Structure 1
Protein backbone atom coordinates (compact mmCIF):
# COMPACT_ATOMS: atom_id res chain seq x y z
CA UNK A 1 0.00 0.00 0.00
CA UNK A 2 2.82 2.39 0.86
CA UNK A 3 4.32 1.94 -2.62
CA UNK A 4 0.99 2.91 -4.20
CA UNK A 5 0.77 6.01 -1.97
CA UNK A 6 4.31 6.97 -3.00
CA UNK A 7 3.56 6.62 -6.73
CA UNK A 8 0.28 8.56 -6.46
CA UNK A 9 2.07 11.31 -4.53
CA UNK A 10 4.77 11.48 -7.24
CA UNK A 11 2.17 11.92 -9.99
CA UNK A 12 0.22 14.55 -8.02
CA UNK A 13 3.42 16.46 -7.18
CA UNK A 14 4.62 16.49 -10.79
CA UNK A 15 1.27 17.69 -12.16
CA UNK A 16 0.79 20.28 -9.40
CA UNK A 17 4.33 21.67 -9.70
CA UNK A 18 3.87 22.08 -13.45
CA UNK A 19 0.68 24.07 -12.90
CA UNK A 20 2.33 26.05 -10.10
CA UNK A 21 5.00 27.37 -12.48
CA UNK A 22 2.37 28.24 -15.07
CA UNK A 23 0.35 30.23 -12.54
CA UNK A 24 3.50 31.94 -11.21
CA UNK A 25 4.48 32.91 -14.75
CA UNK A 26 1.03 34.42 -15.31
CA UNK A 27 1.10 36.28 -11.96
CA UNK A 28 4.51 37.78 -12.78
CA UNK A 29 3.15 39.24 -16.02
CA UNK A 30 -0.32 40.27 -14.83
CA UNK A 31 0.89 41.87 -11.60
CA UNK A 32 3.83 43.65 -13.23
CA UNK A 33 6.05 42.49 -10.35
CA UNK A 34 8.28 40.48 -12.70
CA UNK A 35 9.71 36.96 -12.61
CA UNK A 36 12.51 37.82 -10.19
CA UNK A 37 10.28 38.88 -7.30
CA UNK A 38 7.58 36.26 -7.93
CA UNK A 39 10.08 33.43 -8.38
CA UNK A 40 12.24 34.33 -5.38
CA UNK A 41 9.56 35.00 -2.77
CA UNK A 42 6.39 33.26 -3.98
CA UNK A 43 7.18 30.26 -6.16
CA UNK A 44 10.26 29.39 -4.07
CA UNK A 45 8.32 29.29 -0.79
CA UNK A 46 5.56 27.15 -2.33
CA UNK A 47 8.00 24.54 -3.68
CA UNK A 48 9.91 24.45 -0.36
CA UNK A 49 6.82 23.54 1.70
CA UNK A 50 7.70 19.78 1.91
CA UNK A 51 11.02 20.72 3.53
CA UNK A 52 9.10 22.58 6.25
CA UNK A 53 7.27 19.41 7.27
CA UNK A 54 10.35 17.18 7.12
CA UNK A 55 12.64 19.51 9.04
CA UNK A 56 10.18 20.51 11.77
CA UNK A 57 9.28 16.83 12.25
CA UNK A 58 12.97 16.08 12.80
CA UNK A 59 13.07 18.64 15.62
CA UNK A 60 10.11 17.07 17.39
CA UNK A 61 11.86 13.70 17.00
CA UNK A 62 14.87 15.31 18.75
CA UNK A 63 17.07 14.58 15.74
CA UNK A 64 19.14 17.71 14.98
CA UNK A 65 21.31 15.82 12.50
CA UNK A 66 18.27 14.97 10.39
CA UNK A 67 16.99 18.56 10.49
CA UNK A 68 20.32 20.11 9.51
CA UNK A 69 20.97 17.39 6.92
CA UNK A 70 17.56 17.99 5.33
CA UNK A 71 18.31 21.68 4.78
CA UNK A 72 21.87 21.20 3.50
CA UNK A 73 20.75 18.30 1.30
CA UNK A 74 17.85 20.29 -0.14
CA UNK A 75 20.09 23.26 -1.00
CA UNK A 76 22.64 20.94 -2.60
CA UNK A 77 19.87 19.30 -4.66
CA UNK A 78 18.47 22.66 -5.76
CA UNK A 79 21.83 23.84 -7.09
CA UNK A 80 22.26 20.46 -8.78
CA UNK A 81 18.90 20.91 -10.52
CA UNK A 82 19.97 24.30 -11.85
CA UNK A 83 23.35 22.94 -13.00
CA UNK A 84 21.82 19.95 -14.77
CA UNK A 85 19.26 22.06 -16.62
CA UNK A 86 22.03 24.51 -17.51
CA UNK A 87 23.88 21.62 -19.19
CA UNK A 88 20.75 20.24 -20.86
CA UNK A 89 19.92 23.69 -22.28
CA UNK A 90 23.57 24.70 -22.71
CA UNK A 91 22.94 26.30 -26.11
CA UNK A 92 20.66 28.82 -24.41
CA UNK A 93 23.41 29.68 -21.85
CA UNK A 94 20.72 30.04 -19.22
CA UNK A 95 22.86 31.27 -16.31
CA UNK A 96 24.54 34.00 -18.34
CA UNK A 97 21.27 35.20 -19.87
CA UNK A 98 19.13 35.53 -16.78
CA UNK A 99 18.55 38.99 -15.37
CA UNK A 100 21.64 40.53 -13.74
CA UNK A 101 19.66 41.18 -10.56
CA UNK A 102 19.73 37.44 -9.87
CA UNK A 103 23.33 37.97 -8.72
CA UNK A 104 21.97 39.69 -5.59
CA UNK A 105 19.92 36.64 -4.66
CA UNK A 106 22.83 34.30 -5.36
CA UNK A 107 25.14 36.50 -3.27
CA UNK A 108 22.75 36.59 -0.32
CA UNK A 109 22.49 32.80 -0.49
CA UNK A 110 26.30 32.49 -0.46
CA UNK A 111 26.61 34.80 2.57
CA UNK A 112 23.92 32.93 4.50
CA UNK A 113 25.65 29.59 3.82
CA UNK A 114 28.97 31.09 4.94
CA UNK A 115 27.40 32.20 8.23
CA UNK A 116 25.89 28.74 8.68
CA UNK A 117 29.26 27.09 8.02
CA UNK A 118 30.97 29.26 10.65
CA UNK A 119 28.19 28.52 13.15
CA UNK A 120 28.88 24.78 12.96
CA UNK A 121 32.34 25.44 14.40
CA UNK A 122 31.44 28.19 16.84
CA UNK A 123 28.52 30.41 17.79
CA UNK A 124 27.43 33.06 20.29
CA UNK A 125 24.17 32.38 22.11
CA UNK A 126 21.64 35.22 22.29
CA UNK A 127 20.39 35.50 25.90
CA UNK A 128 16.66 34.83 26.62
CA UNK A 129 16.03 33.65 23.04
CA UNK A 130 17.95 30.40 23.04
CA UNK A 131 19.40 30.66 19.54
CA UNK A 132 22.79 31.45 18.14
CA UNK A 133 23.66 34.81 16.64
CA UNK A 134 23.83 33.15 13.21
CA UNK A 135 20.03 32.77 13.27
CA UNK A 136 19.57 36.50 13.77
CA UNK A 137 22.05 37.26 10.96
CA UNK A 138 20.27 34.86 8.57
CA UNK A 139 16.89 36.51 9.24
CA UNK A 140 18.40 39.97 8.74
CA UNK A 141 19.98 38.91 5.44
CA UNK A 142 16.74 37.29 4.26
CA UNK A 143 14.74 40.44 4.99
CA UNK A 144 17.47 42.54 3.37
CA UNK A 145 17.34 40.34 0.26
CA UNK A 146 13.57 40.85 0.13
CA UNK A 147 14.08 44.62 0.30
CA UNK A 148 16.85 44.64 -2.33
CA UNK A 149 14.92 42.46 -4.78
CA UNK A 150 11.73 44.49 -4.25
CA UNK A 151 13.67 47.70 -4.94
CA UNK A 152 15.44 46.42 -8.03
CA UNK A 153 12.95 43.96 -9.56
CA UNK A 154 11.16 45.00 -12.71
CA UNK A 155 13.73 47.51 -13.95
CA UNK A 156 14.35 46.31 -17.46
CA UNK A 157 13.32 42.75 -16.56
CA UNK A 158 10.55 42.58 -19.09
CA UNK A 159 13.03 43.16 -21.87
CA UNK A 160 14.92 40.01 -20.86
CA UNK A 161 11.89 37.76 -20.90
CA UNK A 162 10.87 35.88 -24.00
CA UNK A 163 8.93 37.93 -26.49
CA UNK A 164 6.85 34.92 -27.50
CA UNK A 165 5.28 34.71 -24.04
CA UNK A 166 4.41 38.38 -24.04
CA UNK A 167 2.70 38.10 -27.41
CA UNK A 168 0.55 35.15 -26.40
CA UNK A 169 -3.02 35.81 -25.41
CA UNK A 170 -3.18 35.62 -21.61
CA UNK A 171 -4.95 32.43 -20.54
CA UNK A 172 -5.66 33.50 -16.96
CA UNK A 173 -7.12 36.45 -15.15
CA UNK A 174 -5.23 37.70 -12.09
CA UNK A 175 -7.88 36.23 -9.77
CA UNK A 176 -7.75 32.85 -11.56
CA UNK A 177 -3.94 32.76 -11.42
CA UNK A 178 -3.75 33.65 -7.70
CA UNK A 179 -6.47 31.16 -6.65
CA UNK A 180 -4.90 28.47 -8.83
CA UNK A 181 -1.49 29.14 -7.32
CA UNK A 182 -2.77 28.90 -3.74
CA UNK A 183 -4.66 25.66 -4.41
CA UNK A 184 -1.71 23.99 -6.17
CA UNK A 185 0.66 25.14 -3.40
CA UNK A 186 -1.57 23.45 -0.81
CA UNK A 187 -1.72 20.29 -2.95
CA UNK A 188 2.10 20.27 -3.23
CA UNK A 189 2.40 20.66 0.54
CA UNK A 190 0.15 17.63 1.09
CA UNK A 191 1.63 15.47 -1.68
CA UNK A 192 5.19 16.48 -0.76
CA UNK A 193 4.55 15.48 2.85
CA UNK A 194 3.12 12.15 1.65
CA UNK A 195 6.23 11.67 -0.49
CA UNK A 196 8.51 12.26 2.48
CA UNK A 197 6.81 9.89 4.91
CA UNK A 198 5.95 7.15 2.40
CA UNK A 199 9.48 7.31 0.98
CA UNK A 200 10.91 6.99 4.49
CA UNK A 201 8.68 3.99 5.16
CA UNK A 202 9.71 2.35 1.88
CA UNK A 203 13.34 2.82 2.84
CA UNK A 204 12.70 1.05 6.16
CA UNK A 205 10.66 -1.75 4.58
CA UNK A 206 13.33 -2.49 1.98
CA UNK A 207 16.11 -2.36 4.56
CA UNK A 208 17.57 0.85 3.14
CA UNK A 209 16.55 3.11 6.01
CA UNK A 210 20.07 3.81 7.26
CA UNK A 211 21.81 3.59 3.89
CA UNK A 212 22.86 6.08 1.27
CA UNK A 213 20.13 4.85 -1.09
CA UNK A 214 17.44 5.45 1.52
CA UNK A 215 18.62 9.02 2.03
CA UNK A 216 18.78 9.55 -1.72
CA UNK A 217 15.17 8.41 -2.11
CA UNK A 218 13.91 11.01 0.37
CA UNK A 219 16.06 13.76 -1.14
CA UNK A 220 14.83 13.00 -4.66
CA UNK A 221 11.23 12.96 -3.44
CA UNK A 222 11.30 16.39 -1.81
CA UNK A 223 13.14 17.88 -4.81
CA UNK A 224 10.42 16.94 -7.29
CA UNK A 225 8.52 20.27 -7.00
CA UNK A 226 11.70 22.24 -7.78
CA UNK A 227 12.55 19.99 -10.73
CA UNK A 228 9.13 20.41 -12.32
CA UNK A 229 8.86 24.16 -11.67
CA UNK A 230 12.26 24.78 -13.30
CA UNK A 231 11.39 22.52 -16.24
CA UNK A 232 8.03 24.22 -16.79
CA UNK A 233 9.53 27.71 -16.48
CA UNK A 234 12.16 26.85 -19.10
CA UNK A 235 9.48 25.49 -21.43
CA UNK A 236 7.75 28.86 -21.02
CA UNK A 237 11.07 30.49 -22.04
CA UNK A 238 11.25 32.12 -18.63
CA UNK A 239 14.82 31.52 -17.42
CA UNK A 240 14.42 34.27 -14.81
CA UNK A 241 11.55 32.44 -13.10
CA UNK A 242 13.46 29.13 -13.18
CA UNK A 243 16.61 30.53 -11.57
CA UNK A 244 14.73 32.73 -9.09
CA UNK A 245 12.71 29.77 -7.80
CA UNK A 246 15.93 27.87 -7.01
CA UNK A 247 17.76 30.80 -5.40
CA UNK A 248 14.68 31.79 -3.43
CA UNK A 249 14.07 28.23 -2.27
CA UNK A 250 17.63 28.03 -0.92
CA UNK A 251 17.16 31.30 0.96
CA UNK A 252 13.85 30.13 2.43
CA UNK A 253 15.35 26.77 3.45
CA UNK A 254 17.83 28.61 5.66
CA UNK A 255 14.94 30.52 7.24
CA UNK A 256 13.37 27.12 8.00
CA UNK A 257 16.64 26.25 9.76
CA UNK A 258 16.27 29.36 11.92
CA UNK A 259 12.68 28.43 12.84
CA UNK A 260 13.89 24.96 13.83
CA UNK A 261 16.66 26.56 15.89
CA UNK A 262 13.97 28.47 17.79
CA UNK A 263 12.02 25.25 18.39
CA UNK A 264 15.11 23.31 19.49
CA UNK A 265 16.55 23.60 23.00
CA UNK A 266 20.00 25.11 22.58
CA UNK A 267 21.89 25.79 19.35
CA UNK A 268 20.72 23.48 16.57
CA UNK A 269 23.92 23.70 14.51
CA UNK A 270 26.11 23.13 17.57
CA UNK A 271 24.07 20.03 18.43
CA UNK A 272 24.45 18.59 14.92
CA UNK A 273 27.24 16.19 14.03
CA UNK A 274 30.57 17.61 12.90
CA UNK A 275 30.25 15.44 9.78
CA UNK A 276 28.09 18.25 8.41
CA UNK A 277 31.16 20.47 8.15
CA UNK A 278 32.28 18.83 4.91
CA UNK A 279 28.75 18.97 3.52
CA UNK A 280 28.30 22.67 4.24
CA UNK A 281 31.78 23.56 2.94
CA UNK A 282 31.04 21.80 -0.37
CA UNK A 283 27.67 23.57 -0.41
CA UNK A 284 29.53 26.86 0.09
CA UNK A 285 31.77 26.02 -2.88
CA UNK A 286 28.71 25.37 -5.05
CA UNK A 287 27.14 28.63 -3.87
CA UNK A 288 30.29 30.50 -4.89
CA UNK A 289 30.28 28.78 -8.28
CA UNK A 290 26.65 29.64 -8.98
CA UNK A 291 27.24 33.24 -7.90
CA UNK A 292 30.17 33.45 -10.30
CA UNK A 293 28.13 31.91 -13.14
CA UNK A 294 25.34 34.47 -12.68
CA UNK A 295 27.60 37.49 -12.19
CA UNK A 296 30.23 36.91 -14.87
CA UNK A 297 29.89 37.57 -18.57
CA UNK A 298 30.53 34.04 -19.82
CA UNK A 299 31.00 34.32 -23.54
CA UNK A 300 33.91 31.89 -23.79
CA UNK A 301 33.50 28.50 -25.43
CA UNK A 302 33.67 26.40 -22.27
CA UNK A 303 30.63 28.07 -20.75
CA UNK A 304 29.44 25.05 -18.75
CA UNK A 305 32.44 24.63 -16.42
CA UNK A 306 30.72 26.08 -13.29
CA UNK A 307 27.77 23.71 -13.73
CA UNK A 308 30.11 20.75 -14.24
CA UNK A 309 31.96 21.61 -11.02
CA UNK A 310 28.66 21.97 -9.13
CA UNK A 311 27.72 18.44 -10.21
CA UNK A 312 31.18 17.17 -9.20
CA UNK A 313 30.92 18.73 -5.72
CA UNK A 314 27.44 17.26 -5.33
CA UNK A 315 28.80 13.80 -6.15
CA UNK A 316 31.63 14.32 -3.64
CA UNK A 317 29.03 15.27 -1.02
CA UNK A 318 27.08 12.08 -1.68
CA UNK A 319 30.28 10.02 -1.44
CA UNK A 320 31.14 11.68 1.85
CA UNK A 321 27.68 10.95 3.28
CA UNK A 322 27.99 7.34 2.11
CA UNK A 323 31.40 6.93 3.77
CA UNK A 324 30.41 8.45 7.12
Structure 2
Protein backbone atom coordinates (compact mmCIF):
# COMPACT_ATOMS: atom_id res chain seq x y z
CA UNK A 1 0.00 0.00 0.00
CA UNK A 2 2.86 2.37 0.82
CA UNK A 3 4.53 1.68 -2.51
CA UNK A 4 1.22 2.28 -4.31
CA UNK A 5 0.80 5.61 -2.49
CA UNK A 6 4.40 6.52 -3.35
CA UNK A 7 3.88 5.75 -7.06
CA UNK A 8 0.54 7.60 -7.21
CA UNK A 9 2.07 10.63 -5.48
CA UNK A 10 5.01 10.55 -7.91
CA UNK A 11 2.64 10.46 -10.90
CA UNK A 12 0.61 13.39 -9.54
CA UNK A 13 3.79 15.38 -8.84
CA UNK A 14 5.04 14.79 -12.37
CA UNK A 15 1.70 15.69 -13.98
CA UNK A 16 1.23 18.83 -11.89
CA UNK A 17 4.84 19.92 -12.43
CA UNK A 18 4.46 19.43 -16.18
CA UNK A 19 1.42 21.69 -16.05
CA UNK A 20 3.46 24.19 -14.06
CA UNK A 21 6.00 24.09 -16.86
CA UNK A 22 3.33 24.63 -19.53
CA UNK A 23 1.64 27.51 -17.72
CA UNK A 24 5.02 29.02 -16.86
CA UNK A 25 5.93 28.94 -20.54
CA UNK A 26 2.64 30.65 -21.45
CA UNK A 27 3.23 33.34 -18.84
CA UNK A 28 6.68 33.95 -20.24
CA UNK A 29 5.38 34.21 -23.80
CA UNK A 30 2.56 36.56 -22.85
CA UNK A 31 4.80 38.82 -20.75
CA UNK A 32 7.82 38.89 -23.09
CA UNK A 33 10.35 37.55 -20.60
CA UNK A 34 13.78 36.72 -22.02
CA UNK A 35 14.74 33.16 -22.93
CA UNK A 36 17.40 32.96 -20.24
CA UNK A 37 14.94 34.03 -17.58
CA UNK A 38 12.33 31.57 -18.86
CA UNK A 39 14.64 28.58 -18.57
CA UNK A 40 16.77 29.69 -15.65
CA UNK A 41 14.16 31.22 -13.36
CA UNK A 42 10.50 30.64 -14.24
CA UNK A 43 10.60 27.06 -15.57
CA UNK A 44 13.44 26.10 -13.23
CA UNK A 45 11.54 27.44 -10.24
CA UNK A 46 8.32 25.70 -11.31
CA UNK A 47 9.94 22.31 -11.82
CA UNK A 48 11.79 22.62 -8.49
CA UNK A 49 8.62 22.93 -6.41
CA UNK A 50 8.38 19.14 -5.85
CA UNK A 51 11.85 19.17 -4.28
CA UNK A 52 10.81 21.95 -1.88
CA UNK A 53 7.63 20.24 -0.68
CA UNK A 54 9.26 16.84 -0.21
CA UNK A 55 12.25 18.26 1.66
CA UNK A 56 10.21 20.45 4.00
CA UNK A 57 7.90 17.53 4.76
CA UNK A 58 10.93 15.31 5.39
CA UNK A 59 12.08 17.81 8.02
CA UNK A 60 8.76 17.50 9.82
CA UNK A 61 9.04 13.70 9.88
CA UNK A 62 12.60 14.18 11.18
CA UNK A 63 14.40 12.53 8.26
CA UNK A 64 17.30 14.84 7.43
CA UNK A 65 18.87 12.46 4.90
CA UNK A 66 15.72 12.55 2.75
CA UNK A 67 15.38 16.34 3.15
CA UNK A 68 18.92 17.11 2.00
CA UNK A 69 19.42 14.03 -0.18
CA UNK A 70 16.34 14.95 -2.22
CA UNK A 71 17.82 18.35 -3.14
CA UNK A 72 21.37 17.18 -3.81
CA UNK A 73 20.19 13.99 -5.52
CA UNK A 74 17.88 15.98 -7.79
CA UNK A 75 20.84 18.07 -8.94
CA UNK A 76 22.73 14.90 -9.79
CA UNK A 77 19.73 13.45 -11.60
CA UNK A 78 19.19 16.71 -13.51
CA UNK A 79 22.70 16.62 -14.97
CA UNK A 80 22.18 12.93 -15.76
CA UNK A 81 18.98 13.86 -17.63
CA UNK A 82 20.80 16.44 -19.75
CA UNK A 83 23.63 14.02 -20.53
CA UNK A 84 21.31 11.09 -21.32
CA UNK A 85 18.96 13.11 -23.55
CA UNK A 86 21.93 14.61 -25.36
CA UNK A 87 23.31 11.10 -25.96
CA UNK A 88 19.97 10.07 -27.45
CA UNK A 89 19.98 13.14 -29.75
CA UNK A 90 23.76 12.94 -30.26
CA UNK A 91 23.57 13.52 -34.01
CA UNK A 92 22.45 17.10 -33.38
CA UNK A 93 25.53 17.75 -31.20
CA UNK A 94 23.37 20.19 -29.24
CA UNK A 95 26.09 21.35 -26.85
CA UNK A 96 28.12 22.60 -29.81
CA UNK A 97 25.21 24.83 -30.81
CA UNK A 98 24.95 26.54 -27.42
CA UNK A 99 26.29 29.99 -26.64
CA UNK A 100 28.72 28.88 -23.94
CA UNK A 101 29.05 32.33 -22.39
CA UNK A 102 25.33 32.29 -21.54
CA UNK A 103 25.53 29.01 -19.58
CA UNK A 104 29.04 28.82 -18.12
CA UNK A 105 28.26 31.41 -15.38
CA UNK A 106 25.34 29.24 -14.18
CA UNK A 107 27.61 26.20 -13.96
CA UNK A 108 30.29 28.17 -12.11
CA UNK A 109 27.72 29.40 -9.58
CA UNK A 110 26.40 25.85 -9.27
CA UNK A 111 29.92 24.62 -8.53
CA UNK A 112 30.44 27.39 -5.97
CA UNK A 113 27.17 26.58 -4.18
CA UNK A 114 27.92 22.85 -4.17
CA UNK A 115 31.42 23.39 -2.76
CA UNK A 116 29.84 25.54 -0.04
CA UNK A 117 27.46 22.80 1.12
CA UNK A 118 30.18 20.11 0.95
CA UNK A 119 32.41 22.21 3.23
CA UNK A 120 29.48 22.81 5.57
CA UNK A 121 28.84 19.05 5.77
CA UNK A 122 32.48 18.32 6.58
CA UNK A 123 33.00 21.08 9.16
CA UNK A 124 31.72 20.42 12.69
CA UNK A 125 30.02 23.09 14.81
CA UNK A 126 28.97 25.39 11.99
CA UNK A 127 28.36 29.05 12.83
CA UNK A 128 24.62 29.69 13.18
CA UNK A 129 22.40 32.74 12.88
CA UNK A 130 18.75 32.45 13.95
CA UNK A 131 19.41 28.72 14.28
CA UNK A 132 20.31 28.55 10.57
CA UNK A 133 23.78 27.59 9.35
CA UNK A 134 25.88 30.51 8.09
CA UNK A 135 26.44 28.55 4.88
CA UNK A 136 22.78 29.04 4.01
CA UNK A 137 23.18 32.80 3.99
CA UNK A 138 26.16 32.31 1.67
CA UNK A 139 23.97 30.19 -0.63
CA UNK A 140 21.30 32.90 -0.74
CA UNK A 141 23.90 35.58 -1.46
CA UNK A 142 25.46 33.59 -4.31
CA UNK A 143 22.04 32.83 -5.78
CA UNK A 144 21.01 36.49 -5.74
CA UNK A 145 24.27 37.32 -7.49
CA UNK A 146 23.52 34.73 -10.17
CA UNK A 147 20.03 36.15 -10.68
CA UNK A 148 21.62 39.49 -11.56
CA UNK A 149 22.98 37.80 -14.68
CA UNK A 150 19.44 37.00 -15.82
CA UNK A 151 18.32 40.55 -15.16
CA UNK A 152 20.93 41.78 -17.62
CA UNK A 153 19.30 39.74 -20.39
CA UNK A 154 17.26 41.73 -22.89
CA UNK A 155 13.59 40.75 -22.87
CA UNK A 156 12.04 39.45 -26.07
CA UNK A 157 10.59 42.27 -28.13
CA UNK A 158 7.71 40.29 -29.56
CA UNK A 159 4.88 39.22 -27.30
CA UNK A 160 2.76 36.37 -28.62
CA UNK A 161 -0.81 37.56 -28.87
CA UNK A 162 -3.34 34.87 -29.66
CA UNK A 163 -7.04 35.30 -29.06
CA UNK A 164 -7.37 31.52 -28.57
CA UNK A 165 -4.92 31.62 -25.69
CA UNK A 166 -6.13 31.95 -22.12
CA UNK A 167 -5.80 35.35 -20.51
CA UNK A 168 -2.68 35.95 -18.48
CA UNK A 169 -4.78 36.16 -15.32
CA UNK A 170 -6.34 32.74 -15.95
CA UNK A 171 -2.95 31.21 -16.77
CA UNK A 172 -1.60 32.50 -13.45
CA UNK A 173 -4.60 31.02 -11.64
CA UNK A 174 -3.96 27.59 -13.18
CA UNK A 175 -0.27 27.99 -12.38
CA UNK A 176 -1.13 28.53 -8.70
CA UNK A 177 -3.56 25.57 -8.69
CA UNK A 178 -0.84 23.34 -10.11
CA UNK A 179 1.59 24.61 -7.49
CA UNK A 180 -0.85 23.70 -4.69
CA UNK A 181 -1.25 20.23 -6.18
CA UNK A 182 2.53 19.84 -6.17
CA UNK A 183 2.65 20.92 -2.54
CA UNK A 184 0.14 18.26 -1.48
CA UNK A 185 1.47 15.41 -3.64
CA UNK A 186 5.08 16.29 -2.78
CA UNK A 187 4.28 16.00 0.91
CA UNK A 188 2.74 12.55 0.39
CA UNK A 189 5.81 11.53 -1.63
CA UNK A 190 8.15 12.48 1.20
CA UNK A 191 6.09 10.78 3.94
CA UNK A 192 5.70 7.53 2.00
CA UNK A 193 9.39 7.62 1.10
CA UNK A 194 10.27 7.85 4.79
CA UNK A 195 7.96 4.89 5.55
CA UNK A 196 9.53 2.86 2.75
CA UNK A 197 12.97 3.48 4.26
CA UNK A 198 11.73 2.34 7.69
CA UNK A 199 9.85 -0.76 6.56
CA UNK A 200 12.32 -2.07 3.98
CA UNK A 201 15.54 -1.12 5.73
CA UNK A 202 16.75 0.67 2.60
CA UNK A 203 19.22 3.44 3.38
CA UNK A 204 17.37 6.76 3.82
CA UNK A 205 20.18 8.42 1.88
CA UNK A 206 19.42 6.15 -1.08
CA UNK A 207 15.67 6.79 -0.81
CA UNK A 208 16.17 10.56 -0.76
CA UNK A 209 19.08 10.82 -3.21
CA UNK A 210 17.80 8.31 -5.77
CA UNK A 211 14.14 7.25 -5.45
CA UNK A 212 12.55 10.57 -4.41
CA UNK A 213 15.11 12.68 -6.29
CA UNK A 214 14.39 10.76 -9.49
CA UNK A 215 10.63 11.13 -9.01
CA UNK A 216 10.77 14.88 -8.40
CA UNK A 217 13.18 15.37 -11.32
CA UNK A 218 10.88 13.76 -13.89
CA UNK A 219 9.35 17.19 -14.81
CA UNK A 220 12.85 18.35 -15.78
CA UNK A 221 13.17 15.26 -17.98
CA UNK A 222 9.93 16.11 -19.78
CA UNK A 223 10.98 19.76 -20.17
CA UNK A 224 14.40 18.83 -21.61
CA UNK A 225 12.98 16.31 -24.08
CA UNK A 226 10.38 18.85 -25.24
CA UNK A 227 13.10 21.49 -25.71
CA UNK A 228 15.28 19.06 -27.70
CA UNK A 229 12.38 18.15 -29.96
CA UNK A 230 11.93 21.86 -30.68
CA UNK A 231 15.72 22.20 -31.15
CA UNK A 232 15.66 24.83 -28.40
CA UNK A 233 18.82 23.64 -26.70
CA UNK A 234 19.32 26.90 -24.79
CA UNK A 235 16.06 26.37 -22.90
CA UNK A 236 17.01 22.75 -22.21
CA UNK A 237 20.38 23.63 -20.71
CA UNK A 238 19.05 26.75 -18.99
CA UNK A 239 16.20 24.92 -17.26
CA UNK A 240 18.54 22.23 -15.87
CA UNK A 241 21.25 24.63 -14.71
CA UNK A 242 18.69 27.04 -13.29
CA UNK A 243 16.86 24.22 -11.52
CA UNK A 244 20.11 23.06 -9.89
CA UNK A 245 20.80 26.56 -8.58
CA UNK A 246 17.22 26.86 -7.33
CA UNK A 247 17.41 23.49 -5.57
CA UNK A 248 20.45 24.58 -3.60
CA UNK A 249 18.71 27.85 -2.72
CA UNK A 250 15.79 25.81 -1.37
CA UNK A 251 18.17 24.16 1.09
CA UNK A 252 18.17 27.49 2.93
CA UNK A 253 14.36 27.40 3.24
CA UNK A 254 14.54 23.79 4.39
CA UNK A 255 17.09 24.71 7.06
CA UNK A 256 14.77 27.46 8.28
CA UNK A 257 12.14 24.79 9.07
CA UNK A 258 14.68 22.56 10.80
CA UNK A 259 14.81 23.77 14.40
CA UNK A 260 17.34 21.28 15.79
CA UNK A 261 20.32 23.13 14.29
CA UNK A 262 22.13 23.52 10.95
CA UNK A 263 20.54 20.86 8.76
CA UNK A 264 23.77 20.00 6.93
CA UNK A 265 25.36 18.98 10.23
CA UNK A 266 22.97 16.06 10.65
CA UNK A 267 23.37 14.30 7.30
CA UNK A 268 25.09 10.95 6.75
CA UNK A 269 28.32 10.46 4.80
CA UNK A 270 26.30 9.12 1.87
CA UNK A 271 24.88 12.60 1.29
CA UNK A 272 28.40 14.02 1.18
CA UNK A 273 29.21 11.40 -1.46
CA UNK A 274 26.17 12.45 -3.49
CA UNK A 275 27.13 16.13 -3.23
CA UNK A 276 30.67 15.30 -4.37
CA UNK A 277 29.17 13.35 -7.29
CA UNK A 278 27.11 16.42 -8.20
CA UNK A 279 30.26 18.56 -8.14
CA UNK A 280 32.14 16.13 -10.37
CA UNK A 281 29.31 15.92 -12.89
CA UNK A 282 29.07 19.72 -13.12
CA UNK A 283 32.82 19.97 -13.72
CA UNK A 284 32.45 17.52 -16.62
CA UNK A 285 29.52 19.59 -17.91
CA UNK A 286 31.69 22.71 -17.68
CA UNK A 287 34.35 20.93 -19.79
CA UNK A 288 31.69 20.03 -22.37
CA UNK A 289 30.71 23.67 -22.81
CA UNK A 290 34.28 24.96 -22.90
CA UNK A 291 35.66 22.48 -25.46
CA UNK A 292 36.08 23.21 -29.12
CA UNK A 293 32.90 23.05 -31.17
CA UNK A 294 34.21 20.81 -33.94
CA UNK A 295 34.90 17.29 -32.72
CA UNK A 296 34.30 13.67 -33.73
CA UNK A 297 31.16 11.85 -32.58
CA UNK A 298 33.19 9.63 -30.22
CA UNK A 299 34.87 12.59 -28.54
CA UNK A 300 31.58 14.46 -28.41
CA UNK A 301 29.71 11.68 -26.60
CA UNK A 302 32.53 10.52 -24.30
CA UNK A 303 31.97 13.12 -21.48
CA UNK A 304 28.21 12.41 -21.42
CA UNK A 305 28.87 8.67 -21.27
CA UNK A 306 31.28 9.30 -18.39
CA UNK A 307 28.54 11.19 -16.50
CA UNK A 308 26.13 8.25 -16.88
CA UNK A 309 28.74 5.67 -15.79
CA UNK A 310 29.79 7.70 -12.72
CA UNK A 311 26.15 8.18 -11.70
CA UNK A 312 25.36 4.46 -11.92
CA UNK A 313 28.49 3.54 -9.99
CA UNK A 314 27.96 5.98 -7.12
CA UNK A 315 24.22 5.16 -6.89
CA UNK A 316 25.09 1.50 -6.49
CA UNK A 317 27.58 2.38 -3.73
CA UNK A 318 24.95 4.47 -1.95
CA UNK A 319 22.43 1.62 -2.10
TM-score strictly above 0.5: yes
What does 1:1-324 align with in structure 2 at a 5 Å threshold?
2=2, 5-100=5-100, 101-122=102-123, 125-126=126-127, 128-152=129-153, 154=155, 171=165, 173-198=167-192, 201=195, 207=200, 209-210=202-203, 216-262=210-256, 263-301=258-296, 302-322=299-319
With normalisation by structure 2, the TM-score equals: 0.83
Q: Secondary structure at the match of 1:33?
A: coil
> In the comparison of the two structures, how many residue pairs are matched?
313
Q: Secondary structure at the match of 2:177?
A: helix
Q: Secondary structure at the match of 1:223?
A: helix
Runs of 5+ in structure 2 lacking a partner? none
Asked if the contact 2:194–2:204 (Cα under 8 Å) also holds between the matched residues in 1, the reply is no
Runs of 5+ in structure 1 lacking a partner? 159-165
Asked if the contact 1:124–1:133 (Cα under 8 Å) also holds between the matched residues in 2, the reply is no
1:162 maps to: none
Cα RMSD for the two superposed structures: 3.2
CA distance in 2, matches of 1:96, 1:153: 23
CA distance in 2, matches of 1:257, 1:306: 29
Task: List per-residue Cα deviations over 1:198-234 (Å, max 9, x = no partner).
Answer: 45556666x3644898564333322222222222333
Asked if the contact 2:36–2:153 (Cα under 8 Å) also holds between the matched residues in 1, the reply is no
With normalisation by structure 1, the TM-score equals: 0.82
Q: Cα distance, 1:17 vs. partner?
A: 3.7
Task: List per-residue Cα deviations over 1:147-185 (Å, max 9, x = no partner).
Answer: 1121135589x9xxxxxxx9x998555445434433333
Q: Cα distance, 1:11 vs. partner?
A: 4.3
Q: Secondary structure at the match of 2:130?
A: coil
